[in-house]
Amino acid sequence: MEHLFFQLNKLKDVLKNKFIFLFLDYDGTLTPIVQNPDKAVISRKTKEVIRSLSKIPHCRMAIISGRALKDIKNKIGLEGIIYAGNHGLEIEGPKIRFKAHVSIRYRATLRKIKSILKKKLSKIKGVIIEDKGLTLSVHYRLVDIKDVQPVKTIFHEAVAHYIISNKIKIRPGKKVLEIRPPLEWDKGKIVLWLLARLKFVLGKEPCLPIYIGDDMTDEDAFRALETMGLTVFVGGSKSSHARYYLKNTQEVTEFLGQILKIKTGERICRN
């Protein structure tokens, strides 16, 4: 992967002349990863850049997060952009509303697993069990290192039967284990679905999708846009399907600011 800023001048014309559809993760992308997910707050500078970009005629934006829809909407707090919560299982935005259908059986299974995990993990300090309605997450970032493996063991023992019977799917993230519905639906499919909907608005106008993310769940989107978009991994030059990388959330904000300057005709000047 190349550092994105090394190629910024070459990308200037493309960024200026094409309709841009920005897809952004939240935790680890727009705001640094923190010990407690509730404490992850977007900076005023980043929020203002996003607000300004959302008002540009030739730019559309979607925040695609593992957080519940209500949570991510409250975290950003801006109108005029698309919010995809629970990794796209629920989506809301201008002229768009979607919620994946999950069975009553799945919801009952999720409640049962939650009850089991709460009981078995109750004595391990630092575990956070987050019920997001359509999904369930077990955060262990605050757990003592000696207790991390026991948390994972308890989790996998609790869900094993339901995975084998295809009642749920699980996916690991950064210091989190997540339970999802058994649906073929990921960030890559969400991005392509949203782009297909956008074509009805744009017609033949060229569109450049830009996806920026830092987690394993973002790799599906990187693969989906491999030949048609600009993909950016956040966190340094690591193994990823993204073409470019940015070192941290500060560089993400800086890049978004550069897009804003390009689109509004301001001179580009890196700090």
Average pLDDT over residues 186-203: 83
Domain coordinates in residue numbering, the chain = 2-100+185-264, 107-180
Based on its alpha-carbon atoms, the radius of gyration of the chain, rounded to whole angstroms, reads 19
Question: CATH says 2-100+185-264 is which class?
Answer: alpha beta
Report pLDDT digits (tens) over 51-91. 999 999 889 999 999 999 999 999 999 999 999 999 999 99
DSSP 8-state secondary structure symbol assigned to residue 6: G
pLDDT, residue 268, reads 45
Residue 28 has pLDDT above 50, yes or no: yes
Instruction: Dig out the tokens for 262 from the structure.
Output: 């390009």
User: Does 3.90.1170.50 match the CATH number of domain 107-180?
Assistant: no
pLDDT confidence band for 271 (50 / 70 / 90): very low
- Can you list the pairs that 257-263 forms with residues at least 24 positions away whose Cβ atoms lie under 8 Å? 257/49, 258/8, 259/15, 259/20, 259/22, 259/53, 259/59, 259/210, 260/49, 260/52, 260/53, 260/56, 262/12, 262/15, 262/16, 263/15, 263/16, 263/20, 263/53, 263/56, 263/58, 263/59
